[in-house]
Chains A and B, each alone.
Chain A
Amino acid sequence: MLRESGLKVVLITGGLTEELKRAFSGWFYPVHYNLERWAYALQRISGIAVTAYFLAHIVETGNVVGGLSVWSVPSVDFASAIWTATFHFLKNPLFDTGLIVIGFMLSYHAINGIRLTLAEFGLLQGKPSRPDFPYEPKSFSKAQRAIFWLSVLFATATAVYALNVFFGV
């Protein structure tokens, strides 16, 4: 029993990093992908990107009241000074460019997420039928495709809007 579980641990830790790496890099190896698979990969990548932004945003907005060490109501002057310093630190072309990318990812993730929610409840899906060449997935119906392209369009529009907000073009 002990030997068995010990062996199992060795097997898991030995190949786990490799396995995770292979699975992750699969998203970036788009050979023989159909549109649905592209939508899937982009949904995952945008999800991770927005999660990373969320973590940073919680830390960033924590500075509105003075940062990590503040756990009771501080003086307004202290909080204001910390926030203003944070604001000036973050206000630069590099972070603004990052926000444009996050804006694209967020909009894509939102609209494509609505498509996935509809699909989850069986809405706008194609009827099952005999698989014939060129074997297009029935799950990815015309309406579903339309929402996917809408999400790409909306994401692009968001990026253009963000470009205008941050760089005034």
Chain B
Amino acid sequence: MLLHYATGLGIVVVGGVHLFTVFLTGPYLQNLAFSSVMMVYRNILLAVTLELLLVFVDYHALNGIRIILIEFHQGTNWERGVSWVLSVAGVLLLIYGTRTILIANALA
């Protein structure tokens, strides 16, 4: 549970940076144009921030769902099943998101 709080506070920081780059560095629609988006991914510091945000939110969100589900129903098998399914889902999401960041960072 300590990790849940730690990632939560981490999200407040790196999520703040993420929202700042999208909404407060210029007109919102302009910032979401392909060339502007690429500038964010090519900036290594911002790309690292996005990867951190991905890891934190991935853990925090799926662990949150896990907490809700094991609060709804108690049982060893249930808890084990829920944990496994959500862990696999979390790893898949992490792989897909990291792929986006790595390829976008390398895109000329």
- Listed in ascending order, the chain A residues whose CB lies under 8 Å from chain B are 12, 16, 19-20, 23-24, 44, 47-48, 50-51, 54-55, 58, 61-62, 64-65, 68, 70-74, 76, 79-80, 83-84, 87, 91, 110, 113-114, 117, 120, 165
Contacts and interface: CB of A to CB of B under 8 A. Distances in A.
A16 B61 CA distance: 23
B73 A23 contact: yes
Q: Is the interface of B mostly helix, strand, loop or mixed?
A: helix
Interface of B: 1, 5, 8-9, 11-12, 15, 23, 28-29, 32-34, 37-38, 41, 54, 57-58, 61-62, 64-65, 68-69, 71-73, 75, 77-78, 93, 96-97, 99-100, 103-104, 106-108
A16 B73 contact: yes
Contacts of A74: 103, 107
Contacts of A73: 103, 106-108
A148 to B, nearest CB: 16
Given A76-B108, A117-B8, 18 more contacts: A20-B69, A20-B72, A23-B73, A51-B62, A51-B64, A58-B100, A64-B37, A64-B38, A64-B104, A65-B99, A65-B104, A71-B99, A73-B106, A79-B34, A110-B11, A114-B9, A120-B1, A120-B5
A24 B104 contact: no
A19 B73 CA distance: 7
Contacts, number: 90
Contacts of A117: 5, 8-9
B68 A70 contact: no
B88 to A, nearest CB: 14
Contacts of A70: 103
B78 to A, nearest CB: 7
